[in-house]
Amino acid sequence: MEKFKKKNDVQKYISKLTTLLENNEHIKAIDTIRHGLKNKPEWAEGYALLGRLLWQTGVHDEAMTAFRTAVTLQPETSEWKLSLLSCEVQLGQLDRAVPELLRIISENINNVSVVIEAVSLISLASRHDIAAASLKWCVRKRPDEPRFPIALASELISAGHPAEGCAVFIDLIKQSPDNISYTPLIVSALGHIGEFQYALDISEVYNNSPEEKSPPFLNNMACALGALNRSNEAIPLYEEAFRKSPDDESIRFGLASAYLKNGDYEKGWTQNELRPAVLKRPEKKPWRGEEDLNGKTLLLLGDQGLGDCIQFVRYIRFLSTSGTRLVLAVPAPLVRLFSNMPYDMDVHALDRLPLEHDLSCPLLSLPFALMRYIGTEIPSDVPYLKAYSEDVSRFGTLPGPARKKRVGIVWSGAERPQYGIFYRARSSSLEGFAPVLEQTQVEFVSLQTGKPRDELSASRFQHVPDPMGDVRDMADTAAIIQTLDLVISVDTSVAHLAGAMGKPVWMLTRSDCCWRWLEHRDDTPWYPTMKIFRSQPGSLDHAISLAARELSLFSKNTSPAEAHTTTHKKHEALT
């Protein structure tokens, strides 16, 4: 190994490292850098590069340690401080990150790029009012710098003040036509608050200008098209942006989502392997279908949310006869539920990691890993999850013998402010669900969890039974669902669970819905018993009104709704 003692040794080392990075051999590159750091522990650039690579491979804690070391060795390098703070923001560690970002802004007022990057991280933390206030201070300090007011316009829009933000932008255009080059920032801000049509209208005007089209602009225009359910038009823009900036995580993920939303699963699953590091769990021995599993222990990692795990655990059946020992690590609420699947596997909570294994694969990577064996057709046989009979007995008499058809309801999902103001349209309030709850031909049962559950006791619908106080995990939720005739839910894990159990489920989703629900259809290949009610932009009100109207027809059916199993093309498991 090179000893960093001679100039030509350093050049050989850098050349080797460059080759590894160009070939996307990140694990080998990480090992190479670590070896180099043993020989030259004062190599600050090495720690910074190590931090970037560790973050990209999902090893978040070690990435932050590497960035901290780089900053300690070379504290004057703002880029590495911002990289560390970016990690903290993306992991939700805001108490230290935001004050430190404000300090960087105050100390670097003459370094516009550093200030803008710091403000963008405050924005990423969804502290848009703080970001806007910081930029107003910057504008007062540096009235000669046009990049500050355009960033201010963007942040004002993102903070929910579109009229004020657009007024700032219009003033800039009046001052100089050249300021039209800042249009991409406004497009991004409009997308953040869900004004996708306005974002697209402005994008199309700018796209016809002679200005150079940067990857972020192409990404934002493509994002607007995708949100308007025009993924086939978004894909060429994403592809161009990806060619220009292949390391940009938002572009890589946007392209994967567009392929998947457009139903191109071969390209989509392949591109999805480049999803952002924050959505991955660290792996030392990844398996993606190329290695024989016979006699090996395969660790399957639950990644992202509970609904994602429920959706993709269906692929385990193709591994059940592969001669491998299966170990599944998932969020704790799913352990009992998945332990009830008819496969020989050990199921653990993620907090039990690390677990002994030879190879690993995230659940969301199974479609890619298995594609060479089963193709891209979605295995849609249901049910593949079921409740425990003893749990059904516990909840079967709650809230008493059913006189009418029973309908479970979920009106709100988890808050995720990092996805922008528009993401609020994923959920409703209990009062917003009133058109559904006012249907008296059925009996409702609340399946709502979290803070929105408190709305029930203080509302005019407090008579609706709420058994969720006795629920320990998703297996208990499955037991309640088993006693129901129908589930009506916003896009949450409960909708996935009902679909995986083969129960009739009506899912209410915002107009710019997730890639998995495709476009312009009310069914889904993932769950044959699911019906999708798509809303209009801005809220779920339209979807709720459609479901209320449909519910009056559902209640008139004379026979109870029953879970049913559908049979599709069978795939051979790995043998």
Q: The domain at 282-374 falls in which architecture? A: 3-Layer(aba) Sandwich (3.40)
Question: Tell me, what's the pLDDT at 416?
Answer: 60
C-alpha dihedral (260, 257, 334, 327), degrees to nearest 10? 70
Q: What is the pTM of this model?
A: 0.77
Kindly tell me if the per-residue pLDDT of 2 is higher than 60: no
Cβ neighbours, 10 Å, residue 446: 22
Please report, rounded to a whole number, the percentage of residues in the chain having pLDDT higher than 90.
52
| Structure letter (DSSP) for residue 549 | H
* Cα–Cα distance for residue pair 213/206, rounded to 1 Å: 9
Segment 452-472, tens digit of pLDDT:
899 998 889 988 999 999 999
* Cα–Cα distance for residue pair 575/573, rounded to 1 Å: 6
Kindly tell me if the per-residue pLDDT of 250 is higher than 50: yes
| Structure letter (DSSP) for residue 157 | H
Long-range CB pairs of 517-522 (<8 Å, 24+ gap) are 517/491, 518/261, 518/262, 518/263, 519/229, 519/231, 519/261, 519/262, 520/229
- Burial track 75-114 (b if 16+ CB lie within 10 A, e otherwise): eeebebbbbbbbbbbbeeeeeebbebbbebbeeeeeebeb
Domain parsing of the chain, residue ranges: 282-374, 389-554
Kindly tell me if the per-residue pLDDT of 183 is higher than 50: yes
| Joined tokens for residue 162 | 């579109």
Question: Tell me, what's the pLDDT at 520?
Answer: 92
Q: Classify 507 as helix, strand or coil.
A: strand
CATH number of 389-554: 3.40.50.2000
* Cα–Cα distance for residue pair 239/264, rounded to 1 Å: 14
Q: What's the one-letter identity of residue 173?
A: I
pLDDT band of residue 400 (cuts 50, 70, 90) is low
Where does residue 510 fall: left (phi above 0), alpha (psi -120 to 50 degrees), or beta otherwise? Answer: beta
389-554: same fold as 282-374?
yes
pLDDT band of residue 128 (cuts 50, 70, 90) is confident
Mean pLDDT score, 247-261: 93
Mean pLDDT score, 63-73: 93
Kindly tell me if the per-residue pLDDT of 565 is higher than 70: no
Sign of CA dihedral 7, 9, 12, 16: negative
